[in-house]
Amino acid sequence: MISPSSPQARQALQLAIAIEENNACWFHNCAIRFMTYDGELSLLLEELASEERAHKEELLDLYERNFASQLAVDIATPMELQDYCRGLDAIREHFFVIDAFMAQTLLELALGIERYTHRFYLDLTAITNNPEARVIFSRMSLFEEEHEQLFEARIEMEMLRQIDKGTQNQYSLTH
C-alpha cells in the first residue's frame, strides 16, 4: 500500500497528472482530425479532452493538498501510453479523417488509451492508503471505463459504416 505522503504517492500522482494531460492533448488532436468526417464525434472528442483537463486540475489540487507544493517538474507519460500516441503520428498521409478505415484506426488507438488509463486508476485505487485519493482514483477509473464503452460502440458504428458502404458499392455495381 502507498502511504499518503510517501515518495511513491507523489510519483503516482505526478504520473496520473501527466497521463491526464497527455490524454487531453490526444483527444483534442483527434477532435480536429474528425471535424470534416464526423462533426458529432469531433464534438464528443473535444468534450473528452475538456474532461481530461478537468481531471488533471483535480489531481493537481490533490497533489498540492497532500504535498503542500505545486508540481514543479514535467513527468513523462508511460512508454505503453506513448506507444498509443505514436499511432496517431503514424497516420501522416492525411491529417483529417477521410474514410472509415482511418476513423476506425484512430478510435482503436483511443480505446487503447482508455483501457490503459482505466487499468492505471484501478491499480492506484487498490494500492493507495489515502482515502481522498482512493475516492478520486476510483471515480476516475469509472470515467475511463465509460470512455472505453463509448469507444467500443463508436468502433462498432464504423465497422457497420464500412459494411454498409461496401454493400451499397456492391449494389451499384450489379444494378
Q: What does each C-alpha distance from 164 to 131, 159, 161 come to in angstroms?
A: 50, 9, 5
Paired with 2 in beta bridges are 128
Q: Considering the entire predicted model, what is its pTM?
A: 0.82
Q: Model confidence over 11-25: pLDDT tens digits?
A: 889 999 999 999 999
In the structure, what pLDDT confidence band is assigned to residue 171 with cuts at 50, 70 and 90? Answer: very low
Q: What superfamily would CATH give domain 7-174?
A: Ferritin, core subunit, four-helix bundle (1.20.1260.10)
Output the pLDDT for position 3.
Answer: 63
Output the pLDDT for position 144.
Answer: 94
d(CA 94, CA 155): 20
Cell numbers found for residue 73: 517538474
Q: Model confidence over 59-76: pLDDT tens digits?
A: 999 998 888 777 766 777
